[in-house]
Structure 1
Amino acid sequence: MNFSSFYEIISKINGVSHVKVIHDDELLQEIHILANTNRAPKQIVRDIETALLAVCDYRIDRKIISIAQIDTEDYKVINRIKYEGLVVETSDHNIQCKVTLSYEGEDFCGSKTAIKTILNRRKVVADATVAAVEEIIGQPFVFDVQDVIVSTSRDVNYVSVIVNMVIGEGEETMVGAAIIKNDINEAIAKASLDAVNRRIQGRIS
């Protein structure tokens, strides 16, 4: 196997700045990537897998890929995460919500289950939404939904969602809002996405 060709292929992947490929004559041992912060590491790994399989017919073990990211100024046009739909299911004591979001043509699903209380009927939708966002950015346990508030102003019903985001040793509080049109659950999901979308734009595009 000509592992030297892997360097050129991986170097062309969007977001990759530098590549180091470690191998012997027969075994690919390690791939080290230095990338900008325009895309999530999970997306870069998927692109590496796809490119090597398509061009070299080589199925790589993603565990050998390590990615370090640094901030750069070469941000490209930002594509926002989009809401696609949700499903809410209830049983005697539980409520489950599955929210689907799309980013760069790919769907991501977040699912949460909670005890069927009045508060959880709203909060589980917000939790599922931010869980889907965590799937997109490839970083679990980043967001924590603090509250879901339904309000009325001049006969307009709307939802506000308060979300905390863990940043290093600290945290940042974000608020999103959406008008309730036909489905309050849809409004909750859109308000949750509104809360986090602006904050993470520079990290995933």
Structure 2
Amino acid sequence: MDFMSFEDVIAKIQGVTHSKVVYNEDEVEEVHIIANTTRSPKQIVRDIESALLAIFNYRINRKLISIAQIDTGETKSIKRIRYEGISLEVKDNNVRCEIRLNMDDDEYTSTQTAIGTSINRLKVVAKATVSAVEEIIGQVSVFDVEDIVVNSPRNISYVTVIVNMINDIAEEVLIGTAIVRNDVNEAIAKATLDAINRRIEK
């Protein structure tokens, strides 16, 4: 296991400014985090757990993660984008997804099409969602869907979506989750929004 790569991923998580992973040949022994005050330690720990599991298939004991927060003067300012609906169509070898989002009572729609592989049927939903968000914020090529993981522990299914965000100075990893209630595609859209809504600034 390439434990050195853990630091690269953790450093991209929102709120993390510095990270140090202490490990032996077989497992992680300690994870030390310096974070700002824009997010709670619980949120950061959850994102670290999700990122390491989704990217490296490594389940870390949260008790090994210690976080020191430093007030950098940053404030948490988030505007919420709401999920409105989804339509998914599979035709021939293609899958087409239309996502409807709402912000300030204005509806935004985005459509994405992809070859109908099993992973594309999941990713096309997240890609349509980030495309609609980019329309809302008036910027393009900001978000990239890294991965989508569907988990079903203890008979409860939930989706984890990992989104890369590119800004002027750095790349960040955004992670969102949503419980699958009736439709996994709806959960993917909501998990994508869960990741992005934490980061969008007014």
TM-score normalised by L of structure 1: 0.60
2:174 corresponds in structure 1 to: 174
Look up the equivalent residue of 2:176 and give its one-letter code.
G
The structure-2 alpha-carbon separation of the partners of 1:74 and 1:143, relative to structure 1 and needing over 3 Å to count, comes to: closer
2:97 corresponds in structure 1 to: 97
Give the 5 Å matches for 1:120-199: 120-199=120-199
Secondary structure in 2 aligned to 1:154?
helix
**Contact 2:125–2:188 (8 Å) recurs in 1:** yes
Deviations 1:59-82 (A, max 9, x none): xxxxxxxxxxxxxx9998x54110
Deviations 1:24-54 (A, max 9, x none): xxxxxxxxxxxxxxxxxxxxxxxxxxxxxxx
Matches of 1:162 and 1:98, distance apart in 2: 20
2:13 corresponds in structure 1 to: none
Q: CA deviation at 1:153?
A: 2.1
The structure-2 alpha-carbon separation of the partners of 1:177 and 1:92, relative to structure 1 and needing over 3 Å to count, comes to: same
Secondary structure in 2 aligned to 1:119?
helix
Q: What is the percent sequence identity of the aligned residues? A: 53
Q: Which runs of 5+ in 1 are unaligned?
A: 1-72
Structure 1 moving runs of 4+ over 3 Å:
73-76
Secondary structure in 2 aligned to 1:199?
coil
1:84 corresponds in structure 2 to: 84
Deviations 1:132-174 (A, max 9, x none): 1001000011000000100012211000000000011421001
Greater C-alpha radius of gyration: 1
**Contact 2:177–2:195 (8 Å) recurs in 1:** yes
TM-score normalised by L of structure 2: 0.61
Look up the equivalent residue of 1:147 and give its one-letter code.
D
The structure-2 alpha-carbon separation of the partners of 1:105 and 1:75, relative to structure 1 and needing over 3 Å to count, comes to: farther
**Contact 1:80–1:197 (8 Å) recurs in 2:** yes
Give the 5 Å matches for 1:66-81: 79-81=79-81
1:116 corresponds in structure 2 to: 116
2:107 corresponds in structure 1 to: 107
**Contact 1:89–1:96 (8 Å) recurs in 2:** yes
The structure-2 alpha-carbon separation of the partners of 1:147 and 1:74, relative to structure 1 and needing over 3 Å to count, comes to: closer
1:63 corresponds in structure 2 to: none
Look up the equivalent residue of 2:170 and give its one-letter code.
G
Matches of 1:114 and 1:90, distance apart in 2: 10
Q: Which runs of 5+ in 2 are unaligned?
A: 1-73
